């Protein structure tokens, strides 16, 4: 069955960096685009970034553009999110989610990993 | 302030019908970009309910249905059940922002 397992979250000081990973299994990873979506405590969902199936196309929300980098290693069935210059407002649960394409819905989601940016 | 506007909360008694609206503009729903709906229970990941405005995801009961009119879409739930109590989010694409956007979410309470 399809599984997406995020890791790499934790507590980090403002201005520091963190890299999240999402290990995929149960499907042909290199045929699907992937999203990162986050949710601040008690708030709604916020789209963060998308990468195409082959990594050739990437898209970012304005709030993270220039600070976050999405990437993937299809040989390892793993999605990444490199987060630099972290701010308090980046705090939340980060989910990876599978999507056929950039505009399609996400049919499978991971359980999320919590990132807390605090001094 | 979300680009897609949802009511913060809706409620209904068991067996009743409720609708959750998702209002957008000419740069997202009105431009023809598909809307998808998600259901989220506290402490869990979202689950897709509807694709492309009106198509139910696999395993979703036919009590859930979607519709679209102009710059708005709606999610209707008939025969409301206690297990439907959750948060619901709409999602689309916005050409002005060049990105995916979510509605602010609607909390459904089953009375």
What is the per-residue pLDDT across B41-99, written as a single tens digit (0 to 9) for each?
999 999 999 988 899 999 999 999 999 999 999 999 999 999 999 999 999 999 999 99
| Closest Cα in chain A, distance from residue B76 (Å) | 18
CA dist A112 and A39 (Å) reads 9
Instruction: Compute the C-alpha angle A44/A50/B34, nearest 5°.
Output: 70
Pairing of strands A113-117, A10-12: parallel
Selecting from A61, A62, A103 the residue whose C-beta is nearest the C-beta of B34 gives: A103
* Closest residue, chain A, to B50 (C-alpha): A105
Check B102 against A45: CB less than 8 A apart.
yes
Q: DSSP per residue over A51-81, as a string? A: E-TTSS-EEE-TTTTTTEEEEEETTTTEEEE
Using DSSP, state whether A14 is helix, strand or coil.
coil
Using DSSP, state whether B84 is helix, strand or coil.
helix
* Closest residue, chain B, to A106 (C-alpha): B48
- pLDDT tens for residues A75-101? 999 999 999 999 999 999 999 999 978
What pLDDT is recorded for position A101? 80
Using a CB–CB cutoff of 8 Å, tell me whether B33 touches chain A.
yes
Instruction: Compute the C-alpha angle A86/A102/B47, nearest 5°.
Output: 80
CA dist B92 and B33 (Å) reads 6
Q: Which residues contact B83 (CB under 8 A, 6 or more apart)?
A: none
> A104: pLDDT confidence band, cut at 50, 70 and 90?
confident
Mean pLDDT of chain A: 96
| Closest Cα in chain B, distance from residue A78 (Å) | 19
- pLDDT tens for residues A6-58? 999 999 999 999 999 999 999 999 999 999 999 999 999 999 999 999 999 99
| Closest Cα in chain B, distance from residue A84 (Å) | 20
What pLDDT is recorded for position B2? 87
């Amino acid at each position: 069955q399809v599984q997406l397992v995020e890791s790499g979250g934790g507590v980090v000081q403002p201005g520091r960096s963190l890299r999240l990973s999402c290990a995929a299994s149960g499907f042909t990873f290199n045929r699907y685009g992937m999203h990162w979506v986050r949710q601040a405590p008690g708030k709604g969902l916020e789209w963060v970034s998308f990468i195409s199936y082959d990594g050739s196309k990437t898209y970012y929300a304005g709030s993270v553009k220039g600070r976050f980098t999405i990437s993937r290693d299809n040989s390892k069935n793993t999605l990444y999110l490199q987060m630099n210059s972290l701010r308090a407002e980046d705090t939340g649960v980060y989910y990876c989610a599978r999507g056929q394409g950039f505009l399609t819905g996400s049919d499978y989601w991971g359980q999320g990993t919590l990132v807390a940016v605090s001094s | 302030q979300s680009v897609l506007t949802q009511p913060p909360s809706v409620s209904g008694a068991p067996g009743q019908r409720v609708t959750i609206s998702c209002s957008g503009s000419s740069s997202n729903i009105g431009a023809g970009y598909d809307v998808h709906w998600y259901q989220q229970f506290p402490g869990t990941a979202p689950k897709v309910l509807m694709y492309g405005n009106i198509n139910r995801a696999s395993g979703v009961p036919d009590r859930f249905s979607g519709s679209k009119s102009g710059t708005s879409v709606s999610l209707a739930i008939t025969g409301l059940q206690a297990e439907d109590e959750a948060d619901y989010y709409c999602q689309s694409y916005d050409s002005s922002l060049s990105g995916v956007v979510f509605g602010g979410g609607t909390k459904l309470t089953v009375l």
